[in-house]
Amino acid sequence: MSMKQAVTALPVDEARRRILEICLDRRTPMEQVALEEARLRVAGRDIVAPRDLPPFANSAMDGFALRGTDLPSDGTRRLRIVGTRLAGSASELSIGPGECLRITTGALLPAGADTVVIKERVRVDGETAIVQACEISGAHVRPAGEDFRAGEVVVHAGERITFARIAAIASLGLATIEVSRRPRVTILTTGDELVMPGHACSPAQIYNSNGYSLSAMLAISGVQQIAAGGADTGAGFGHLGDDVERIRVALSAAAAHGDVVITSGGVSAGEADYLPRLVGELGRIHFWKVRMRPGMPFLFGEIGNALVFCLPGNPVSTMATFLALVGPGLAAMQGCRDVLPRMHAAKLATAIRKSHDRTEFLRARIEVDDEGTCRAWPLAGQGSAMLRGVVQANGLIVIPESTHDLESGEMVTVMPLPECS
């Protein structure tokens, strides 16, 4: 589809729906990886417990293992100490009537025992343990399979491998797992006005922040960022001035070597906004422009086998469109079960007036007050080129197209920002 034929000015939800539909068809294949390389990857299949966890009944405390029937109903009772079992020991020890065993946390419960009395509640007299009344039969014992049963799904296909899931998988004894291959993504920033940090900047130029913010957001999206060939900056992404032929060559090369190309800048309707025309000439445009603020000049298309996301160049527009549209698409390519941005409700702390008919994403502080109510405070300085609000924000207030006036105390939808507190 050429630029003239492109669908334009879609609502945010419709734009996201179209992105997800296409990205689901571009699901990456599965591969086997070592567990230490699995963080933030997406499980390709259900990960099933091959055995009970814990695999044996064990002590939850340091103390004495004994038979619950030997606990006194009143007063005290003396039990003969027949040995000691430390965690990791599989020595053949058993408990008979009137006997007990010193035991440490995590140690295998000896045959015959079904109860542990913590050491602070036992008085030792030589080789005898004196146990008081009021102890509970069966206490302080972790039964086999208390955590997971053999055959139970521990991690479902489509779930992202977090540090907690890594711990659970390792505890099952699995050294490798099957995950979706990471989409290979190239970032290209554009614009004569941008200079890399560390280099001299003229009075008419600014430093390139979009390449760094996009790289940082990709780092928590489970993808593989790949170099940008001749446009590489040495910072993991490529940068190009407003040279139509150089952008054409870089786009073609990036599309040939990866699954996704993400650009920032040059996507509106100005004199140096070459990307809509180039994507239409080199491939096809699925849609151009989304009814959102900030971030309206957003383009989604493809060149060859690569999907292309062209993001607007203003720094906050770049971030907003990535979080609302690109991130869900990348998650869908990896087979994630939950691809939509995380949202929850909050009470608006101040009134809001919106004069346009686009979905607005307002930078905000989202906090829980002393009464347990989640509240959202819109921040000052909402310009799409202003980073102060992003630095101060930990979420975005999402105001629908049709909503214009919101009073203090009304409930609104908020999108927490990743890595922000």
Q: Which two tokens stand for residue 394?
A: 């930990």
Overall average pLDDT of the 44-52 stretch: 97
Task: Quick: pLDDT tens for 99-144.
Answer: 999 999 999 999 999 999 999 999 999 999 999 999 999 999 999 9
> What's the CATH fold of domain 344-416?
Beta-clip (2.40.340)
| CA–CA separation, 249 and 230 (whole Å) | 9
Please determine, looking at this structure, whether the domain spanning 58-142 carries the CATH number 3.40.640.10.
no
Q: What is the pLDDT of residues 157-182, one digit of tens each?
A: 999 999 999 999 999 999 999 999 99
Q: What is the DSSP string of 204-227?
A: T-EE--HHHHHHHHHHTTT-EE--
| Average pLDDT of span 178-202 | 96
Rounded to whole angstroms, the Cα distance separating 160 from 165 reads 8
pLDDT at 319: 96
Query: Where exactly does CATH 2.40.340.10 map onto the chain?
Result: 344-416
- What is the band of 5 on the pLDDT scale with cuts at 50, 70, 90? low
The reported pLDDT for the residue numbered 233 is 86
The correct CATH number of 30-50+152-181 out of 3.90.105.10, 3.30.499.10, 3.30.420.40, 3.90.550.10 is: 3.90.105.10
Q: Which residues of the chain form CATH 2.170.190.11?
A: 58-142
Tell me the Cα Rg of the chain.
Answer: 30
What was the pLDDT predicted at 420? 81
Distance separating alpha carbons of residues 235 and 215, to the nearest angstrom: 9
pLDDT above 80 (res 4): no
Q: What is the pLDDT of residue 91?
A: 87
CA–CA gap between residue 98 and residue 95 (Å, rounded): 8
User: Model-level pTM?
Assistant: 0.92
185-193 mean pLDDT: 96
Cα separations (Å) of 62 from 50, 85, 102? 29, 10, 8
Average pLDDT over residues 2-31: 90
Task: List pLDDT tens digits, range 70-105.
Answer: 999 999 999 999 999 999 999 888 999 999 999 999
Per-residue confidence (pLDDT) for residue 249, from 0 to 100: 96
Residues of the chain with CATH 3.90.105.10: 30-50+152-181
Residue 125: CB atoms within 10 Å: 9
Mean pLDDT of 255-266: 96
More confident residue, 399 or 384: 399
Q: What is the mean pLDDT of the chain?
A: 95
Using alpha carbons, list the distances in angstroms from residue 355 to 21, 396, 404, 406: 32, 18, 6, 12
Ramachandran region, residue 225 (left: φ > 0; alpha: ψ -120 to 50; beta: rest) = beta
Residue type, 73: S
In the chain, CATH 3.40.980.10 covers 8-28+182-333
Q: What percent of the chain has pLDDT over 90?
A: 90
DSSP β-ladder status, 299-303 and 352-353? unpaired
Query: Which overall architecture, per CATH, does domain 8-28+182-333 show?
Result: 3-Layer(aba) Sandwich (3.40)
Hey, is 176 helix, strand or coil? Answer: strand
Rounded to 5°, angle at Cα 299 from 22 and 418: 80
